Structure 1
Amino acid sequence: MTVRRVMGIETEYGISQPGDPTANPMLMSGRVVTAYARDLGLRAAQAGWDYEDEAPLRDARGWDISRALADPSQLTDEEDPTLANVVLSNGARLYVDHAHPEYSSPEVTSPRAALTWDRAGELVMREAVRLLNGPGMPPLNLYKNNTDGKGASYGTHENYLMPRETPFARIVTHLIPFFVSRQVVTGSGKVGIGTESTTPGFQLSQRADFFEVEVGLETTLKRPIINTRDEPHAVTDKYRRLHVIIGDANHCDVAGLLKMGTTSLVLSLIEADAIDKAVVLDQPVAALQAISHDPTLRTTVKLVDGRSITGLELQWHYYELAANWVTSRYGGDVDADTTEVLQRWESVLTRLGQDPMSCAREIDWVAKLQTMEGFRSRGLEWSDPKLRAIDIQWSDVRADKGIFHKLAAAGRFEQLVPEAEVERAVKEPPEDTRAYFRGKCLERFTANIAAASWDSVIFDVPERRTLQRVPMREPLRGTKAHVGDLFEQASSADELLQALRPDND
């Protein structure tokens, strides 16, 4: 396996109602989801989420946490009180994750596809804002970022399907240094140091200051570099889903591609047990924050063997391991996705070492820093509240308000996925995963879907006396090649269910 695997991105969006600091974020988030769903004719309140196979308190280290001891934020298998939870025709999930509207992309099989359907989520949220900001309605804004600059942080989570047989301890050992250093390429940049941005300055990552431990199950308290949630949404004894919570929300296509692609490559190394000697950081959490706080990329962190190393050098270490492994295993016969990731990874690392500003078209934190330095040249200091406000406005989802989107329209960034493909991904599911079946069921038979989840669709059809649950435990089944003809032939949900019977498979 190379960069290609089942993967996806979950993005929680920042939300605010200007002029009303007392507005309830959960209720506002519910409005976002419901407004979008109603506009599409989806049954936001009636069609629920199937929680039957969810197990958010199962730990990859071999135990389950008691529900009585769990923080309420960990109980993601409980019905959202706003009842704003829908599956879209592109296979994605749009719902309220506590105090934020979240778009969870459908399962895809390549970094470019992950980028495409994540960007489709931006268009979904932009349309929801447009629907809510009509005449006479209180304004509501959404932001694709990871902190409000006042002490709150919310996640952009990645998911990677892995074989269950890969020892979790090996994953932890090799991923911690990679994740600590990955921010030099994938950080989205932040004005202010510390969780409440009280120390003036600029740093690489919006999330780094909010992490406290190396390994753990939590996602909102005592955030860990490696999250141990063991909830595969697939055949349990065959797969594990690596749930990554340390990433930033990316706007730049190249950074987003590299976030997913380099991580998938390192996971392939780990699965193949191809890293013969581990690099072990002395204090990973402190190293994570020290690297983030230095946009010159010169800060060194200590290894347990006494050496010191920069975040950039750590990234070079992983790049060389990946490049050598791909060459030795595949030679020149490697897929285009892997070739692209390796070439862009090497190019970005080289130029970051020479002049970070040369990566302003590709890397989020560099682009943001370049823009901020332009404002600072006019007399603003890092401590000026105006710069923190500009940081928030950078990620505004509205095309005419968000600073990133206005600069993108002016051609300031390298675009990998054409807008037409992103717009298509708003409505159409990927064709090479089970998301195709899920999405097409929602498109063709909306009125007959009682509930759905990543690994099931539940039908409610007049011809059947009971609800019909169609399990989808294999992420690479339910593709267009597998079931596309069934959708062409079925004129009703009942006909589709008849065609799905085992004797017709």
Structure 2
Amino acid sequence: MARFMGTETEYGIATPSRPELSPIVSSTHVVVAYAARRTYARTHWDFQEEYPLRDSRGFDLRRYHTVPVIAPDALGVANVVLRNGARFYVDHAHPEYSSPEVNCAREAALYDAAGDIILNLAVEDVAFYTSQQVSVLEAHDPCPEIKIYKNNVDGKGAAYGFHENYQYSRDIDFDTLAQALIPYFVCRQVVVGAGRVGIGETGERDGFQISQRADYFQQEISLETTLNRGIINTRDEPHADPNRFGRLHVINGDATMSHTSTFLKLGMTALVIDAIEAGVDFSDLALTDAVAEFQRISHDPTCTHQVQLKDGRKLTALEILGAYRDRVRATTDSEREVLERWDEVTSLLGADPLLTAGILDWTAKYALVSSYVQRGVPWSSAKLKLIDLQYSDIDPARSLYHALVKKGRMRTLFSHAEIEAAACTPPKNSRAYFRGRVLEKFGDHVTAASWQNISLALGEHSIRIPIVEVDGWTEEHSAELIDSAETVEDFIHNLRRAEVID
């Protein structure tokens, strides 16, 4: 089946001139300013199909017995559904961009990068209102200068999420899926890590590690995303027909700036899930202590650490990834670009990790900080931690990642024009097309939205349009319904004529 996927990025946020300002307040400024200046409606989020505490192992902790009612103007719950089909809102005191659903890794990486465009525009919008001495939040002063980082740690012990989502078939047993993926997730960081100065949750030990998130995982499998995190997250919230599909909610990866890192993170994982659904057996790669090995691999930028397998073997992360790659290759002749880049990167890492410094995030960052260490700067220096932070700054004028791109020292997969287009145009091959186009054309009438529904105001009534099929409501299926409607009344008439709604 088509493997629909997408990402969720909780961006780091700072107000340097007022460090005491609550990130909930500054994050709300960011989302509301973007909505206000770019004529987006602040749309109610439709929680009716949200089940964040339903577990894939068969139980539901049921936070709500009814659909929660949240005032749209409440601080910290700002929400915007975007014209590219994405969601932009405040989550856990961070501005979060959730990309639209797509059915290939390349588009998923493109729409992930589009989030940086959205956030940079939002920062400009905050600055615009502040220059006019206007606050977009009632009872709050205008917002001071904001900086946004695409990273996962604050250096003081807190970690925030980058999540991946992959639709999978209910025909596959979840435990089979989980056990096959654990060794892969533990080892893939050598390809897709973002890199971090400091070891331990608070960076209490000097040094460099491959992953930003590895030190924050305590168990193999868990429903939690903020405490007692598991390498496998068991949230069972498919955002689709629950009888046919599940949604693998992956919380163990890093937010990455490098296009190749993001592309491989999504593409490799999708291919491994394909192989698992095809019946490929990965049980011989089970690890003796996956959580400990997750951290040991991260703490070894030489990529030579050998993990202990349950069958007695000891293999490096690259050797285990090679076993996954060989079995994946035997089951697919598609996604050649993923396989070719997978081979290229792992081959270079095996020869010398720094050979990938112009391709991957963690090695690019490692090369930068190592050049200072070689000149006598100690690993404990705040200067190295500042380099770490500046690498993930999304502002092209200040970002070390973007400086490498400008100097031709970092490979990109997409032009700036392509990323800008993705920030305002929905993908054509999923229901995100319908969501984005409806917001573009009839946004003033949208009263609520979610991944599975859109509600439109028609006079004193509200019409709820179900868009459950992820591969439905594409450009092919819905462009005519939207384009031929001059008014929202015309659009509702078109939907009824097509027997989409009663």
Q: Indicate whether the TM-score tops 0.5.
A: yes
Equivalence for 2:96? 102
**CA shift in 2, pair 1:12/1:309, >3 Å:** same
Structure 2 residue matching 1:166: 3-state secondary structure: coil
Q: 1: distance between equivalents of 2:280 and 2:69?
A: 36
The answer (yes or no) to whether the contact 2:51–2:62 under 8 Å persists in 1 is: no
Match of 1:215, SS state, is: strand
- For 1:422 and 1:19, the matched residues in 2 are separated by 31
The residue aligned with 1:281 is 287
Q: Distance in 2 between matches of 1:204 and 1:88?
A: 33
Aligned equivalents of 1:406 and 1:308: distance in 2? Answer: 40
Task: Tell me which residue corresponds to 2:111.
Answer: 117
* 1:503 CA displacement: 4.8
Instruction: Structure 1 unaligned segments of length 5 or more: list them.
Output: 327-333
Query: Which AA in structure 1 matches 2:111?
Result: W
Amino acid at match of 1:279: L
1:30 and 1:503 map into 2 onto residues whose CA distance is 39
User: How far does residue 413 in structure 1 lie from its aligned partner after superposition?
Assistant: 1.1
Matching of residue 498 in structure 1 with residue 496 in structure 2: no
- The correspondence for 1:439, drawn from 436, 439, 446, is 436
Tell me which amino acid in the other structure corresponds to 1:373.
S
Partner of 2:358: 361
Q: Which residue does 1:60 correspond to in 2?
A: 56
- 1:494 shift after superposition: 1.7
Alpha-carbon distance, 1:470 to partner: 0.2
Do 1:352 and 1:359's aligned partners in 2 also have CA atoms closer than 8 Å? yes
Question: Does the 8 Å contact 1:217/1:228 carry over to 2?
Answer: yes
Q: Measure, in 1, the Cα distance between the counterparts of 2:86 and 2:392.
A: 22
What does 1:28-39 align with in structure 2 at a 5 Å threshold?
A: 28-39=26-37
Q: Tell me, which stretches of 5 or more residues in structure 2 are unaligned?
A: 134-142
Cα displacement (A) at 1:63: 0.3
**Cα root mean square deviation, aligned:** 1.7
Equivalent position of 2:469 in the other structure: 474
**Residue 301 of structure 1 contacts residue 310 of structure 1 at CA under 8 Å; is this kept in 2?**
yes
Any idea what SS the aligned residue of 2:284 has? coil
SS of residue paired to 1:133:
helix
After the TM superposition, which of the residue ranges 292-301 and 272-281 deviates more from structure 2?
272-281
Kindly report which structure 2 residues correspond to 1:54-93, keeping only aligned pairs within 5 A, or say none. 54-67=50-63, 81-82=74-75, 83-93=77-87
Provide the identity percentage: 44
For 2:68 and 2:395, how far apart are their aligned partners in 1? 29
Match of 1:22 in 2: 20
Aligned residues: 485
What is the TM-score when the length of structure 2 is the normalising length?
Answer: 0.94
Letter in 1 for 2:32: T
Q: Deviations over 1:173-217 (max 9, x none)?
A: 100000000100000000000000110000000000001111011
Give secondary structure in 1 for the equivalent of 2:461. coil
Deviation of the 1:305 alpha carbon: 1.5
Is 1:421 matched with 2:415? no
Relative to the length of structure 1, the TM-score reads 0.93
Secondary structure at the residue paired with 1:229? Answer: coil
Q: 1:217 and 2:211 equivalent? A: no
Give deviations 1:289-315, integer Å, cap 9, x for gaps: 000000001111111122111111111
TM-fit CA distance, 1:87: 0.1
Matches of 1:373 and 1:431, distance apart in 2? 43
Give, in angstroms, the shift of residue 143 of structure 1.
Answer: 0.4
Counterpart-to-counterpart distance in 1, 2:440 and 2:231: 38
Letter in 1 for 2:106: R
Report 1:326-337 matches (<5 A): 326=332, 334-335=333-334
Matched with 1:43 is 41
Give the superposition deviation at 1:378. Answer: 3.0
Q: Provide closer, same or farther for how the CA distance between residues 503 and 104 of structure 1 changes in structure 2, counting only shifts above 3 A.
A: closer
8 Å CA contact 2:16–2:145 kept in 1: the answer is yes
Determine which of 476, 484, 487 is the counterpart of 2:479: 484
Deviation at residue 502 of structure 1 after TM alignment: 6.2
Structure 1 pair 22/120, CA: closer, same or farther in 2 (3 Å)? same
Question: CA–CA distance in 1 between the matches of 2:498 and 2:427?
Answer: 27
